[in-house]
Amino acid sequence: MADLLASRNLRCWLPWALIVLGALVLPVVLPPFRLNLLGRFLSLGIVALGVDLIWGYTGMLSLGQGIFFALGGYALAMYLQLNELKPGELPEFFSLYGVKSLPAFWQPFGSPLFTLISIWVIPAVVAGLLGYLVFRNRIKGVYFSILTQAALLVFFNFFNGQQKLINGTNGLKTSTARIFGELIGSDGMQRNLFWLTVVLTVAAYLLCRWLTDGRFGDALIAIRDDEPRLRFTGYNPTAYKTVVFAVAGALAGISGALYTVQSGIVSPQYMAVPFSIEMVIWVAVGGRGTLIGAVLGAVLINYAKSLVSEALPETWLFIQGGLFLLVVLALPDGLVGWWRQGGPSRLIAMVGWPPRTATYPALDLDPQVAAEQEQLQNPRAGQQR
Amino acid sequence: MTTTQSMNLLDLQGVTVSFDGFLALNDLNLSLAPGELRAVIGPNGAGKTTFLDVITGKVKPTRGDVVFRGRSIVGCSEHHISRLGIGRKFQTPRVYQNLTPRRNLELAVRGPHGPAALLFGSLSSIQRDRVQHLLSVVGLERQAQQPAGGLSHGQKQWLEIAMLVAQDPELLLVDEPVAGLTDEETARTADLLKQLAGDHTVLVIEHDMEFIRDLQAPVTVLHEGHVLCEGSMDQVQNDPRVIEVYLGTDTQEEVA
């Protein structure tokens, strides 16, 4: 059994088997409320993947991902508001403010195709433009963080104030809208949305893996570690940063759209400052630069948040702050980094069960020797990079 | 903008760099012929690193012109200048610590450097061979799959030199390549640089006089931002002005 588990093949497809199994079993096992929560948190994993791309890999700490998240949510919500309206009818809230005709920018959102594209293209374009202007002027580090947060506040205030355009503070409700004749808020629809979220999260993860595994990913890491050095090698970091920031924006948009239909509403609260900071905390706790850590962090922290808030309201913020401190002080590479660096065995050692010591530590711990052993076991692995 | 006196690969014409009134470079004139190997020495603060910063576009000269292959490169961005064929090795080894030596080299190797090329293209067999060859030249084949952060100082120096060679620039600017290397490594570095000269133009900045002597290259002495004198190592070493700036006026010991 141990041999079987250690075999490369199994390790390759076991995670996928678990995902498929989870996607099939969880909707049966979990009550609809819990399943809906899981779907929501999983969709937050997609925005966290984007944060990991730009922060974990490229070293740009954006505190403004909420902009792109909300833009995706609004795009889908506008479509749902318009969907299955009779000709000449307007979404309900417009009558409150005496708006008689549909604002021009709403018009294209009547088309499902346009909406599906705009969910990720609009955030990507906004992120690309914003990013290009910032990166071209070589604004980095805390200045970049402050700028993104300022941009977030601008969007937040703008959306809050536009009652006549997008219902301002109240946001747009989606739970009572219908699609394919079924209520979005219904259990059956939510189960479908859960599956859709699983599929898109996996797709987003694979996209990020593809981006980070090759030389493109190496260039991102090089930007994070020594950007001037990369310039002198003939690379233009502005292009890379713009691309990756736009990709993170697109992921945030998809995430926001999925989150919106599973929460039943999109509102300017999605652009609130604390929410965008929380996205960073998910990634930090899960593990920067690991991708899977971003998804895990988002799901675990949010699930913990909802459980703690049910049992002990008012304490969650302290726990979240404590978690962040713990990660900064003790787990700089997050949970996934801790796991990969042999954290569990060290923890067991702390309570009195030290791991078996190597007979020839210098030999056993030498990465070169380990690499050669691996190569002997898998002659093919050595051929790949 | 363009000058026609282009027998030279690189011409610095009256370059002055002023940092808030402090003249890091003061009316510096220097020319490099294609294929030349040149050593630049000078006491601390002579402007050696600023001189490289000006050529590579990191610092814009206050006055004067930098002409590469008959074309002014003042105002070009760093990556643009690098693509024109000027490569640089830094004073302290700057390799990407979290990437393996192989991946360090694969980033540096000559070829298209845009995001699309890196995402959708793959390394050509020529590039792959080049990386493999350089790994063996600098003796890092065995460490090729471990993060470069774990390499020794000397190995990092060599890796960075290999990255520079992988770029295949026409002009190599090498800042203190043998700082912290053993005598044997120093001698090997000198051999490597001598091999490169001819096909490439190499400019070496170094403090190690033995190493400079090994290179058997013409020497330019910088002092307070301008060229104090030029000549062979022996000529330079016996020049009273050089002795003065290195050792001060009181002592008359030989520079060694």
Q: Is B116 helix (H, G, I), strand (E, B) or coil?
A: helix
pLDDT tens digit sequence for B47-75: 888 999 999 999 999 999 999 998 999 98
Query: Is the CB of B79 less than 8 angstroms away from the CB of A222?
Result: no
Residues A295 and A384 in one domain: no
CB B83 within 8 A of CB B113: yes
Please check whether residue A78 lies inside any domain of the structure. Answer: yes
Of B82, B96, B103, nearest to A232 by CB-CB distance is B82
| Overall domain count for chain B | 1
CB B149 within 8 A of CB B99: no
Give the model's pLDDT for residue A382. 46
Give the model's pLDDT for residue A8. 63
pTM for the model stands at 0.88
Please check whether residue A275 lies inside any domain of the structure. Answer: yes
| Overall domain count for chain A | 2
Please check whether residue B256 lies inside any domain of the structure. Answer: no
Give the domain range for residue A376.
361-385
Question: Pairing between strand B219-223 and B37-41?
Answer: parallel
B79 touching A (Cβ < 8 Å): yes
Q: What is the CATH number of the domain that holds B161?
A: 3.40.50.300
Q: Nearest-CA distance from B48 to chain A in Å?
A: 17
* Number of Cα atoms under 13 Å in the Cβ half of residue A9: 2
Q: Nearest-CA distance from B244 to chain A in Å?
A: 35
| Averaged pLDDT, B11-17 | 91
Closest chain A CA to residue B56: A232
Give the model's pLDDT for residue B7. 76
Residues A276 and A371 in one domain: no
List Cβ neighbours of A244 (8 Å cut-off, separation of 6 or more): A53, A54, A57, A58, A211, A220
Residues of B in contact with A229 (CB under 8 A): 90, 94, 96
Please check whether residue B254 lies inside any domain of the structure. Answer: no
> Is residue B178 left, alpha or beta, with left meaning phi > 0 and alpha meaning psi from -120 to 50?
alpha
Q: Nearest-CA distance from B174 to chain A in Å?
A: 13
Q: What percent of chain B has pLDDT over 70?
A: 94
Does residue B173 surpass a pLDDT of 90? yes
pLDDT tens digit sequence for B207-230: 888 888 888 899 999 988 889 889
* Amino acid, single-letter form, for residue B177: P
- Buried b / exposed e along A115-145 (16+ C-beta atoms within 10 A): beebbbbbbbebbbebbbebbeeeebeeebb
Q: Nearest-CA distance from B59 to chain A in Å?
A: 12
Give the whole-angstrom CA distance, residue A85 versus residue A93: 13
List Cβ neighbours of B47 (8 Å cut-off, separation of 6 or more): B17, B24, B25, B26, B28, B222, B224, B225, B226
Confidence class of residue B3 from pLDDT cuts 50, 70 and 90?
very low
Please check whether residue A92 lies inside any domain of the structure. Answer: yes
Residues A334 and A383 in one domain: no
Confidence class of residue B135 from pLDDT cuts 50, 70 and 90?
very high
B99 touching A (Cβ < 8 Å): yes
Of B87, B107, B150, nearest to A222 by CB-CB distance is B107
Query: Is the CB of A231 less than 8 angstroms away from the CB of B96?
Result: no
CB B203 within 8 A of CB B41: no
Q: Smallest Cα–Cα separation from A284: which of A52, A59, A54?
A: A52
Give kind and range of the element (H or E) at residue A229: helix A215-232
Residues of A in contact with B163 (CB under 8 A): 233
DSSP label of A360: S
Residues A129 and A194 in one domain: yes
B125 touching A (Cβ < 8 Å): no
CB A233 within 8 A of CB B81: no
On average, the pLDDT of chain B sits at 87
Query: Is the CB of A222 less than 8 angstroms away from the CB of B96?
Result: yes
Please check whether residue B36 lies inside any domain of the structure. Answer: yes
CB A315 within 8 A of CB A358: no
Residues A155 and A187 in one domain: yes
CA angle A163, A164, A170 (to 5 degrees): 30
CB B77 within 8 A of CB A236: yes
Assign 3-class secondary structure to A239-285: HHHHHHHHHHHHHHHHHHHHHHHHHCEECHHHHCHHHHHHHHHHHHH
Residues A141 and A36 in one domain: yes
Residues A266 and A366 in one domain: no
pLDDT tens digit sequence for B180-189: 888 888 888 8
Does residue B43 surpass a pLDDT of 60? yes
Give the whole-angstrom CA distance, residue B102 versus residue A330: 32
Q: For the packed helices A32-51 and A237-263, what is the interaxial angle rounded to 10 degrees?
A: 170
Confidence class of residue B249 from pLDDT cuts 50, 70 and 90?
low
Residues A312 and A373 in one domain: no
* Amino acid, single-letter form, for residue A134: V
Tokens of A64: 């403004």
B142 touching A (Cβ < 8 Å): yes
Q: Which residues of A touch B (CB under 8 A)?
A: 211, 214-216, 218-219, 221-222, 225-226, 228-237, 239-240, 243, 367-368, 371, 385
Give the model's pLDDT for residue A303. 92
pLDDT tens for chain A, residues 1 to 385:
455 555 667 767 777 888 888 888 888 888 989 999 999 999 999 999 999 999 999 999 999 999 999 999 999 999 999 987 887 788 888 888 888 888 899 999 989 999 999 999 999 999 999 999 999 999 989 999 999 999 999 999 999 999 888 898 999 988 888 887 788 888 888 999 999 999 999 999 999 999 999 999 999 999 999 999 999 999 999 999 999 999 999 999 999 999 999 999 999 999 999 999 999 999 999 999 999 999 999 999 999 999 999 898 889 989 988 988 988 898 888 888 888 887 777 778 777 776 666 666 666 667 777 777 777 777 665 454 4
Residues A86 and A44 in one domain: yes
Give the whole-angstrom CA distance, residue B122 versus residue B69: 31
Does residue B234 surpass a pLDDT of 90? no
Give the model's pLDDT for residue A370. 75
Residues of A in contact with B94 (CB under 8 A): 226, 229
Residues A145 and A186 in one domain: yes
CB B39 within 8 A of CB B206: yes
Please check whether residue B252 lies inside any domain of the structure. Answer: no
Of B78, B118, B142, nearest to A232 by CB-CB distance is B78
Please check whether residue A9 lies inside any domain of the structure. Answer: no
Give the model's pLDDT for residue B226. 87
- Buried b / exposed e along A31-59 (16+ C-beta atoms within 10 A): eeeebbbbbbbbbbbbbbbbbbbbbbbbb
Residues of A in contact with B97 (CB under 8 A): 225
Give the domain range for residue B155.
10-247
Q: Smallest Cα–Cα separation from B84: which of B57, B105, B115?
A: B57
Closest chain B CA to residue A371: B145
Longest dimension (CA), chain A: 82
Give the model's pLDDT for residue A355. 66
ipTM of the assembly? 0.88
B143 touching A (Cβ < 8 Å): yes
Please check whether residue B240 lies inside any domain of the structure. Answer: yes
